[in-house]
Chains A and B, each alone.
Chain A
Amino acid sequence: MNLTYSSAYQSLEKLVDEIEGDNIQLDTLAEKIKEAKTLIEFCENKLRVVDGEVKSALGGEDGK
């Protein structure tokens, strides 16, 4: 799945709703924690690392 900020946020929100609403079985808790951790790390890392889709081109692209 191609994760975006919005989809990561929505998935995380869903996990929080599930766990706060007691909709998670104890035996799947570890799995859910792992899932949440992945989503949080995705957001935190992506905010701080440019993934190179657009190369920084300040001054390089003058439109001429």
Chain B
Amino acid sequence: MTHLKLSELVEKIEDVIQRRFAGETFWLMAEITDVKKYAGKRWCFLKFIEKEGNAITTEIKGVFWSNTYQHIEKFESATRRVFGNGLEITCNVRVRFHPRFGLDLEVLAIDVTYALGKLELEKQQTLERLLKENPDIIQLVDGQYITANKKTELSAVLQRIALVTAPNSDGQRDFKQEIEHNQYGYAFSVAGYLTQIQGDNASKLIIQQLQMIEARVEDFDVVAIVRGGGSQTDFKPFDDYELAKYVAAFPLPVLTGIGHDRNTSIVDMFARQHKTPTKVAASIVAHNYNFETLVINLKERFLGAAEDMLARAKENLQSTKRLIKSYSPVNILNKGYAIITVNGRIIVNPQDLKQGEEIKTVLKNELIHSTITKKTKNELDL
């Protein structure tokens, strides 16, 4: 019996595989799992699997090397999803065999269009389910989603903010920066509800934070959910059924700054969307500025009306003064009339005068002293 060395047998296997697969590539559609990324080295190891029910029936190793690692980055930036376990991808692969590391599929490219289409389809299905199962809080009107949350009224001034974001994140920093250094000097109180906002559990963790905010709903005017940009962003938590439903029914107005121009998550559609953390903060500042402008307008109207009122009162006083002046005795004497007095008393009723009495007749510049010699009826035609 002849014995083969291990390398001799493996060489035969390698030879078969070489002859069958050399120079050939295949387009493969499969689920991925056990994804391990080495960003520093720009390698990624994973497993392609196929299932029947929950049982894995087929499994093979897969690998990205540094010359194709860019496809993972492109995938993540286009889909806003983490390239990770459970994804179904379409990719171009080459079959390789290594005497030590065995058989694997080297990934050369990913079909991003397929991935986008699939994610979009999933999103549409989630949206349809949300609409169908929650007609009291979510409606679709003229292509726009109307939710109970979107209908909540904003307070006249938004000052007490519950901020949901990741700890020490760009989003938190950008939001704070814009709020604290606003040009009008408005004051705010910001309570941080900090949690992981990416990854498999993120939607649950965000719901937990919202529940804590809801427990002290009277303490806040508004909730801001923000996240910074960057290529490693993951939209999945914000397309989650439960989180979207929770936001749609949330009693405080929710402002979102989690997306980019290209992407709108379901949570964005169900709340007040402002794209970036900075824009959320700016919109809050602008809201308060609008209120202050209204107050200033009222102030000016009030002062204007008060001034008018005083001016009119002054005018009235002037005309009354003129009237009083026109009735003064000096004016009467100027016109040629006279006043008759007896013992310093003005005589209004001529019956008070007796014949022989001494009277004084007051004229403009003279005083006439006389004695009454005779009284007769006045028959002058004046």
Q: Using a CB–CB distance below 8 Å, which chain A residues touch chain B?
A: 4-6, 9, 12-13, 15-16, 19-20, 22, 24, 26, 29, 32-33, 36, 40, 43-44, 46-50, 52-63
Distance A22 CA – B185 CA, assembled complex (angstroms)? 36
- Ordered by A's residue number, 21 sampled pairs between the chains whose C-beta atoms are within 8 Å are A5-B155, A5-B157, A9-B294, A13-B298, A20-B305, A24-B309, A40-B298, A43-B291, A46-B159, A47-B288, A50-B188, A50-B189, A54-B160, A54-B219, A55-B191, A58-B192, A60-B192, A62-B167, A62-B195, A63-B208, A63-B212
Cβ-Cβ contact count across A and B, 8 Å cutoff: 108
Query: Which of B167, B302, B305 sits near A59, CB closer than 8 Å?
Result: B167
With both chains docked as a complex, state the minimum distance between the C-beta of B288 and any C-beta of chain A, in angstroms.
Answer: 6
Indicate if B97 sits at the interface (CB-CB under 8 A). Answer: no
Residue of A nearest to B300 (CB): A16
Contact A53 B189, beta carbon cutoff 8 Å: yes
Contact A15 B302, beta carbon cutoff 8 Å: yes
Distance A6 CA – B310 CA, assembled complex (angstroms)? 29
Interface residues of B in 307-329 (CB under 8 A from A): 309-310, 313
Contact B292 A50, beta carbon cutoff 8 Å: no
Q: Helix, strand, loop or mixed for chain A's interface?
A: helix
Contact B193 A63, beta carbon cutoff 8 Å: yes
With both chains docked as a complex, state the minimum distance between the C-beta of A7 and any C-beta of chain B, in angstroms.
Answer: 9
Distance A22 CA – B312 CA, assembled complex (angstroms)? 11
Residue of B nearest to A60 (CB): B192
With both chains docked as a complex, state the minimum distance between the C-beta of B195 and any C-beta of chain A, in angstroms.
Answer: 6
Distance A15 CA – B310 CA, assembled complex (angstroms)? 16
Contact A58 B298, beta carbon cutoff 8 Å: no
- A59 CB contacts on chain B under 8 angstroms: 167-168, 192, 194
Query: Which of A5, A15, A29, A57 sits near B309, CB closer than 8 Å?
Result: A29
Residue of A nearest to B157 (CB): A5
Query: Which of A15, A49, A55 sits near B187, CB closer than 8 Å?
Result: A49
Residue of B nearest to A8 (CB): B295
Contact A61 B190, beta carbon cutoff 8 Å: no
Indicate if B13 sits at the interface (CB-CB under 8 A). Answer: no
Indicate if B220 sits at the interface (CB-CB under 8 A). Answer: yes
Contact B313 A16, beta carbon cutoff 8 Å: no
Contact A56 B189, beta carbon cutoff 8 Å: yes
- A63 CB contacts on chain B under 8 angstroms: 193-195, 208-209, 212
With both chains docked as a complex, state the minimum distance between the C-beta of A57 and any C-beta of chain B, in angstroms.
Answer: 4
Contact B190 A47, beta carbon cutoff 8 Å: no
Indicate if B36 sits at the interface (CB-CB under 8 A). Answer: no
With both chains docked as a complex, state the minimum distance between the C-beta of A24 and any C-beta of chain B, in angstroms.
Answer: 7
In the complex with contacts A5-B291, A53-B219, A19-B192 CB distance below 8 A:
no
Contact A61 B194, beta carbon cutoff 8 Å: yes
Indicate if B330 sits at the interface (CB-CB under 8 A). Answer: no
Query: Which of A9, A52, A56 sits near B295, CB closer than 8 Å?
Result: A9
- A52 CB contacts on chain B under 8 angstroms: 189
Distance A40 CA – B293 CA, assembled complex (angstroms)? 11
Distance A63 CA – B305 CA, assembled complex (angstroms)? 53
Indicate if B176 sits at the interface (CB-CB under 8 A). Answer: yes
Additional pairs, 7, CB under 8 Å, beyond known A16-B298, A47-B159: A5-B156, A16-B301, A36-B302, A53-B219, A54-B191, A59-B167, A61-B194
Per-residue contact bits, chain B 190-232, to A (CB 8 Å; 1 contact, 0 not):
1111110000000000001100100000011000000000000
Indicate if B306 sits at the interface (CB-CB under 8 A). Answer: yes
Contact B167 A47, beta carbon cutoff 8 Å: no
With both chains docked as a complex, state the minimum distance between the C-beta of A54 and any C-beta of chain B, in angstroms.
Answer: 4
- A62 CB contacts on chain B under 8 angstroms: 167, 192, 194-195
Contact B219 A19, beta carbon cutoff 8 Å: no
- A22 CB contacts on chain B under 8 angstroms: 309
In the complex with contacts A19-B305, A26-B309, A26-B313, A55-B189 CB distance below 8 A:
yes
